[in-house]
Amino acid sequence: MTEQHAHQFERGTDGPKVIVVGVDGSDSSLRAAAYAGGLARRQHALLAVVYVQPVIASGAALGAPVAETTDEIAEDLVAQIRHATEQNKGIFDVRWEFHTFRGDPYGGLTKAADELKADAVVVGASEQAGHRIVGSVAVRLVKAGRWPVTVVP
């Protein structure tokens, strides 16, 4: 009889308890957040909304206040989530948290999923044409094989 090893995300439950969703303000990431919110509601799971603030070398930024801009994006995302939560109060009740990480999207989401002990990761499909050739964050997360990954178009 061979011994089977459980995957890291399996904790002996009937469904995910922590769902990480990556958001960046794009339409596909907001659809992913809506999908993940519904999944979290049905599973009575915690929805961890993660925004990864890009780190751009100072020379590449050409003097643009990148940190301030990404902080504004994070604040806007929180405002959008709070607004949606208020609109659905009493209809849909979802426990959620907002987290920001700095770095590249793949590294940030990986770190978030590890630190938050995610059972599942949800991301929007890439809207950048170059990702069809090079590979998107979603593809890299799937290839990591550490969590179930759902890609929302």
Is pLDDT of 82 > 50? Answer: yes
Q: What is the rounded average pLDDT for all residues in the chain?
A: 77
Cβ–Cβ < 8 Å for 38, 12: no
Query: How confident is residue 72, by pLDDT bands cut at 50, 70 and 90?
Result: confident
Percent of the chain with pLDDT over 70: 67
H-state helical runs in the chain: 27-43, 58-61, 66-87, 105-115, 131-134, 137-144
pTM (two decimals) = 0.73
What per-residue confidence (pLDDT) applies to 114? 94
Say if 92 falls within a structural domain: no
What per-residue confidence (pLDDT) applies to 7? 46
Mean pLDDT of 136-144: 87
Say if 60 falls within a structural domain: no
Instruction: CATH number of the domain at 47, please.
Output: 3.40.50.620
What per-residue confidence (pLDDT) applies to 96? 84
Say if 41 falls within a structural domain: yes
Say if 40 falls within a structural domain: yes
Say if 84 falls within a structural domain: no
Put residue 107 in one of left, alpha, beta given phi > 0 → left and psi -120 to 50 → alpha: alpha
Say if 25 falls within a structural domain: yes
Range of the domain at 22: 14-55+106-152
Sign of the dihedral defined by the CA atoms of residues 137, 139, 142, 145, in that order: negative
Lowest-pLDDT choice from 51-55, 76-80, 113-117, 119-123? 76-80
Cβ–Cβ < 8 Å for 36, 21: yes
Which phi and psi (to 5°) does residue 145 adopt?
65, 30
Dump pLDDT digits (tens) for 92-135.
Answer: 678 888 888 888 889 999 999 999 999 999 999 877 654 454 45
Q: Which residue has the higher pLDDT, 125 or 68?
A: 125
Is pLDDT of 87 > 80? Answer: no
- As to burial, measured by CB atoms within 10 angstroms (0-12 exposed, 13-18 middle, 19+ buried), residue 16 is buried
Mean pLDDT of 24-28: 85
Which phi and psi (to 5°) does residue 44 adopt?
55, 40
Lowest-pLDDT choice from 2-6, 10-14, 39-43? 2-6
Report the b/e string of 65-79 with b at 16+ CB within 10 A: ebeeebeebbeebee
Say if 50 falls within a structural domain: yes
Say if 49 falls within a structural domain: yes
Number of domains in the chain: 1
